[in-house]
Amino acid sequence: MSTIKDINKFLEKLSSSGEEQVHNICFFMLNTGLRLAHILDIKFSDIDFNKGHLQTANKRNLSGEEKINIKLSDTSLIFLAKIRDKYPDDTWVFQSRKSDIRIKKRGHCLKSQAVIDKIKLINQDLHLKLSPNSFRHAYATSYLRYSVLKPPLIK
């Protein structure tokens, strides 16, 4: 089981090794609990920065895609606005930055396997066993701890 200490060490290593996008993806998973596939599929047009909502497709719905509205935290909104301001011409929040792709064709989102491969490399370096789900689980644990299981106020 991963600890917050392991996750922080992992994020620090991602940042110091120049893996900004993978760091940002993991950070976003920690703040939203969204799956990697959903995160990679987010376009800036899916985000209402004024209302603080993200509209994403539920691809697990067997009867077809349905849109899901998610209320984003202030931390997530600020984070997404910084990415949007840094890359104003991008369509996807986590768009591929390979120069040959950007020159020859329209941009596209990062591939999940590329993200997973980077996570595996950092894990090997740090002797950890984190996966994209580790960040989702950390989010769920903190949500339960601080939102749902709060002790009642004593009056």
Is residue 98 pLDDT above 90, yes or no?
no
The confidence band for 21, taking pLDDT boundaries of 50, 70 and 90, is: very high
CA dihedral 142, 41, 118, 24 (to 10 degrees): -50
pLDDT score for 25:
95
Which carries the bigger pLDDT value, residue 152 or residue 118?
Answer: 118
The confidence band for 68, taking pLDDT boundaries of 50, 70 and 90, is: confident
What b/e string do you get for 5-37 counting C-beta neighbours within 10 Å, with b at 16 or more? ebbeebbebbeeeebebbbbbbbbbbbbbbbbe
Is residue 61 pLDDT above 90, yes or no?
no
pLDDT score for 151:
55
C-alpha to C-alpha distance for 17 and 69, rounded to whole angstroms: 34
User: Where on the phi/psi map is residue 123: left (φ > 0), alpha (ψ -120 to 50), or beta?
Assistant: alpha
> Considering Cα of 64, then 28, then 108, then 47, what sign does the dihedral take?
positive
pTM: 0.81
Is residue 150 pLDDT above 70, yes or no?
no
